[in-house]
Structure 1
Amino acid sequence: MNLDLAHFDAVIVDLDGTLVDTLGDFTAALNAMLADLALPAVDAGVVETMVGKGSEHLVRSVLRHLRASDALYDQAFDDYQRHYGVVNGLHSKVYPGAVEGLRLLRDRRLRLACLTNKPTDFARQLLTSKRLDVFFDPVFGGDAFERKKPDPLPLLKTCEALGSRPGRTLMVGDSSNDARAARAAGCPVVLVTYGYNHGEPVQEVDADGFLDSLARLDSWTSPVGAARGLG
C-alpha cells in the first residue's frame, strides 16, 4: 500500500477522538441526562468505552450499564440531545497536532471532508467553536445517511461528494469503526493512537498505519507505525 500523500486526491477525517477530545462533553451531557432521570452519574472512564457508534448507541449503552429500564430510552435520548446542545464544545479540546495536520493536508491541496457518527448539527457546531470548520467542506454526521460507520455507506457517499475514488481517498480515524468502514469501502485507512476505540487497543485494529499525531501525516514516523514498517 502506497501511503504517500501524493497517492491521494482527498482525505476523510473523523471528529471525536481524532481531531477533538470530546469525552468531557459526552460525560457532562450524559450526567445531566441521568440527573433528569434520577439515576446515578457515570464517570468518564465508563463513557470512553461507549463513544463512537452514535448518540443512540451511547445513550442505550449508559442505560444498560446502570441496568435501567429500556422504557426510559425515549425520554433519556431527548434529554441527552438537549443537554449536549448546551455543553457541545465547552468541555472539549483540540488534540495537539490536529491543526498542523489539517494545514498540511490543505497545503497539499487535498480535498477534505469531516465524517463522524455525531449528529451533523452538533458536528458543525463543534468544528466552528474550535475553528476547524475552515478546513472542511463537506461535513457529514451520523444522521446524514441511512447507516453509520462501520457501514461503508457513509464513506462511499462522502467520496461521491468529494469527487474522489475510494482507492485515492484516505480515511483518518481513531477506532475500529473507521477502519472497518474504510476497508469495506475500499479506502486506505490510518488510525491515531490517542483516541477512544471502545476501550480496546487500537494497534490491534486492521489498518494501514498508525500515528501519534496528525502533524506527522506526511512522514509516517510514529513509533507504532514504524514498528509495523510504515515509518
Structure 2
Amino acid sequence: MPTCDLAPFDAVVWDLDGTLVHLAVDWGAVATEAEATFRAAGIDADGTDLWGMLDLADESDMREDIEAILSEHEQEGARRSKRLACAETMGTFEVEGVCSLNCEAACHVALDTHDLAGHADAVVGRDSVATRKPDPEPLLETLRRMDAAPDDAVFVGDSRRDKLTAERAGVAFRYVGDGPSGV
C-alpha cells in the first residue's frame, strides 16, 4: 500500500503492474518471441530490451506484430496476476484512473480479474496514445478522461519511469512502498 498520505488529492492515478497487481509475465519469453519475429523479417534485434524493440518496431514498420506479441503475453499475465496490497486502497477516492506501460486490454483484464474495474474512471495503456511513459501524454490523457486537473492529482507508481512521467506532466507523485522497483 502507499506509505504516503493521498488524502490531500481529489484524483488518484495508479500505475498497474507493480502497484495494483503483479502481472505473471515471463518477460524473457516475450523478448525471445519478439526477437524471433524481427529475425524472420530480416531485422537484428538481438540484445535489445523490450522498450527498445518497440522503438525498432516503429522504425521498421513492425509495430503491429510486436505489439501483438506483447499484448498477448500481458493479457495472459493479467489473467494470472496477483493482487497487491495497494489495490485495497483503490476505490476510496473521488476519481481514479490507471496509467500503464502495459497495453490497455491487459489493464482491463487485470482490473476485471481483481474486481477493480468499477473503481477506474479512466484507463490508459501503452497503446492508448501515440507515446508511452515517461512521456507525460499517457498520464495527461488519463487525467483528461477523468476530467481532473494535474494540480489536483497524484500519480502512484513503483518505478523511476513513473516518477519521471509525473514530473514531466506537472503531477504530484508518490511511490508505492519504499521507493523505486526498477526503471
Residue in 2 that maps onto 1:127: 111
Give the distance between the partners of 2:135 and 2:71, measured in 1 at CA.
27
- 186-195 or 130-139, larger mean C-alpha shift: 186-195
Give the distance between the partners of 1:139 and 1:113, measured in 2 at CA.
6
Q: Is the 8 A contact 1:166 1:185 kept in 2?
A: yes
Give the distance between the partners of 1:79 and 1:161, measured in 2 at CA.
25
- 126-135 or 24-33, larger mean C-alpha shift: 24-33
Q: TM-score, normalised by structure 2?
A: 0.72
Cα RMSD for the two superposed structures: 3.3
Cα distance 1:5–1:171, how it changes in 2: closer, same or farther (>3 A)? same
Q: How big is the shift at 1:88? A: 2.9
Which residues of 2 match residues 1-231 of structure 1 at below 5 A? Answer: 4-22=5-23, 24-27=24-27, 30=30, 33=33, 57=51, 59=53, 77=66, 80-81=69-70, 83-84=72-73, 87-95=76-84, 97-103=85-91, 106=92, 109-192=93-176, 193=178, 196-198=181-183
Give the distance between the partners of 1:146 and 1:74, measured in 2 at CA.
12
Cα distance 1:79–1:160, how it changes in 2: closer, same or farther (>3 A)? closer
Q: How big is the shift at 1:181? A: 1.2
Letter in structure 2 aligned against 1:101: T
Q: How big is the shift at 1:86? A: 6.2
Larger relative contact order (CA 8 Å, sep ≥ 6)? 2
Larger radius of gyration: 1
Residue in 2 that maps onto 1:43: none
Q: TM-score, normalised by structure 1?
A: 0.59
Give the distance between the partners of 1:86 and 1:143, measured in 2 at CA.
13
Residue in 1 that maps onto 2:43: none
Cα distance 1:186–1:92, how it changes in 2: closer, same or farther (>3 A)? same
Aligned length: 166
Unaligned segments of structure 2, at least 5 residues: 40-48
String of CA shifts for 1:36-77, please: whole Å, max 9, x gaps. 77x9xxxxxxxxxx6xxxxx517569xxxxxxxxx9x77972
Q: Is the 8 A contact 2:97 2:121 kept in 1?
A: yes
The runs of at least 4 consecutive aligned structure 1 residues that moved more than 4 Å come to: 34-37, 58-61, 73-76
Give the distance between the partners of 1:57 and 1:186, measured in 2 at CA.
24
Counterpart secondary structure, 1:126: helix
Letter in structure 2 aligned against 1:93: K
Cα distance 1:175–1:124, how it changes in 2: closer, same or farther (>3 A)? same
Q: How big is the shift at 1:115? A: 0.6
Q: How big is the shift at 1:130? A: 2.2
Letter in structure 1 aligned against 2:182: N
Give the distance between the partners of 1:102 and 1:181, measured in 2 at CA.
21
Cα distance 1:110–1:175, how it changes in 2: closer, same or farther (>3 A)? same
Unaligned segments of structure 1, at least 5 residues: 40-49, 51-55, 62-70, 199-231
Q: How big is the shift at 1:28? A: 7.5
Q: How big is the shift at 1:153? A: 1.5
Identity %: 26
Residue in 2 that maps onto 1:221: none
String of CA shifts for 1:78-116, please: whole Å, max 9, x gaps. 662464166232442111x2232214xx2xx42000110
Letter in structure 2 aligned against 1:30: V
